[in-house]
Amino acid sequence: MVFLSFPELFEKKNYELRIAGGAVRDLLSGMTPQDIDFATTATPAEMKEMFTSAGVRLINNKGEKHGTITARLHEQNFEITTLRIDVVTDGRHAEVEFTTDWEKDAERRDLTVNSMFLGLDGMLYDFFNGYEDLKNKKIRFVGKASERIQEDYLRILRYLRFYGRIAEKPGDHEPSTLQTIKENAKGLAGISGERIWVELKKILLGNHVNHLIRLMYELDIAQYIGLPLDGNLEELDRVTKSIQNLCPKPMTVLSSLFKVKDDVTNLDLRLKISKEEKNLGLFLVKHRQELTKAMGPEPLRPYQDFIMDSREANTNSKICELLKYQGEEHLLREMQQWTVPSFPVSGHDLRKMGVSSGKEIGTTLQQLRDEWKKSGYHMDKEELLSCLKKL
């Protein structure tokens, strides 16, 4: 049997197939898309039959009732979705029916820059001026903003996320769009914490973070997504300026809003963040003020001492996030190159020196550890053991 490429399978059956949504946006921006989604006039049943008879493996991704089939070809997964119209929406999920009308499908997408299709021959299908908006770095809802938002309130955060990704400068919004977002912000109360956290993390790693978080407060979004009611916007300003090129974790940026550790706990209650994210937030709120660089020749010492005294795993990575938070770029580079030294003396060494009781070994090791710490962790086994004779 001659193996056909999967576009040829569609062509042979006269089904239309085009690249859809985010991949088109990325390609037109000169970026490599992370994954390519396809749209087609073929129904899921027609695709299943076509792929199965061509011997193409299908992956069951539970997407079928929404019209998505995942085919596995050349070690890659391809997601192909039937054109569809939303019939019923409840602000979270949609019930769909299938269509062969490309414009009807584009109409139910969130933003103009995400509503384009690209034929495999390079022809662009753009029903809502998405390409113009992309070139002008404008973020706009498809059709009426209020309708798009009420279909799925998470689109409020998607608007902000793509603004941070595409817009050139902060504050370049259509006033009517912001007004509509404000009027609908309460709808976010009904969206699951997990979905919100996925969007919020992407916003925190994009551009114009400071501007977008301020908007969340101005447009009454903050209270519905777990942010503190009186977030520390001045601290956010300071941190976002100095952290820009340091690749922080989302939580590191967000922690600048928190004044007390309850702010972290409340965020967790609403968004169900991971244990690691929660611990990082609590760590930063607790230590950002008092754990700072030393004056003199060894500015890193307080951080190194903290790591050496800590009994927890991943303290090192938390300290690196703290240095980013504090905008200490040079110290961060040094810290990333520093390896945690291991204490050179063991109980076995002490027994050989004639220290026998367990209790005594314990106290002696602690005393030697203190000496070793004072030396900046430079003393080796011999120096420490000769120190023991003095002790």
How many helices (H) and strands (E) the chain has is answered by 20, 9
Given pLDDT bands bounded at 50, 70 and 90, which one contains residue 115?
very high
* Strand partners of residue 20: 37, 117
- Structurally, at CATH architecture level, domain 1-137 sits in 2-Layer Sandwich (3.30)
Mean pLDDT of the chain: 92
**At residue 343, what is the residue type?**
F
Burial class (CB in 10 A: 0-12, 13-18, 19+), 220: middle
Residue 288 is classified by DSSP as T
Closest to 52 measured CA to CA, from 76, 71, 67: 71
- pLDDT at residue 2, as a whole number: 41
Name every residue whose Cβ is closer than 8 Å to that of residue 340 and which is 6 or more positions away in sequence: 307, 308, 316
DSSP 3-state assignment of 233?
Answer: helix
| Count of C-beta atoms within a 10 Å radius of residue 84 | 21
pLDDT of 299 over the 90 cut: yes
- pLDDT at residue 61, as a whole number: 67
Residues 354 and 364 sit within 8 Å (Cβ to Cβ): no
- Of 197-206, 332-341, 357-366, the poorest mean pLDDT is in 357-366
Q: Kindly list the domain boundaries of the chain, sorted by start residue.
A: 1-137, 347-389
What is the DSSP code string of 358-379? HHHHHHHHHHHHHHHHHTTS--
Q: Per-residue pLDDT tens for 183-194?
A: 999 999 999 999
Residue 25 is classified by DSSP as H
DSSP 3-state assignment of 81?
Answer: strand
Residue 376 is classified by DSSP as T
- pLDDT at residue 137, as a whole number: 97
C-alpha dist (Å) from residue 286 to 16, 257, 335: 57, 13, 20
Let me know how long the chain is: 391
Q: Per-residue pLDDT tens for 203-212?
A: 999 999 999 9
pLDDT of 4 over the 60 cut: no
Could you tell me what percent of the chain has a pLDDT over 90?
72
Convert 145-164 into a string of H (helix), E (strand) and C (coil): HHHHHHHECCHHHHHHHHHH
The sign one gets for the Cα dihedral 130, 133, 139, 140 is negative
C-alpha dist (Å) from residue 201 to 144, 146, 219, 253: 27, 24, 19, 10
Stretch 150-169: mean pLDDT? 96
Cα gap 211→267, rounded to integer Å: 20
Residues 301 and 294 sit within 8 Å (Cβ to Cβ): yes
Q: Per-residue pLDDT tens for 222-271?
A: 999 999 999 999 999 999 999 988 999 999 999 999 999 999 999 999 99
Closest to 378 measured CA to CA, from 325, 301, 307: 301
Distance, C-alpha 320 to centroid of its chain? 18
Q: Per-residue pLDDT tens for 36-94?
A: 899 999 999 999 999 999 989 998 767 787 899 999 887 888 899 999 998 877 767 77
- pLDDT at residue 386, as a whole number: 86
Helices (H), 117-248: 130-135, 145-151, 155-166, 175-184, 193-204, 209-218, 233-243
Given pLDDT bands bounded at 50, 70 and 90, which one contains residue 3?
very low
What is the DSSP code string of 162-182? HHHHH-SSTT---HHHHHHHH
Residues 256 and 232 sit within 8 Å (Cβ to Cβ): yes
Closest to 305 measured CA to CA, from 277, 259, 279, 338: 338
Specify the residue for token string 């919020």.
Answer: 200
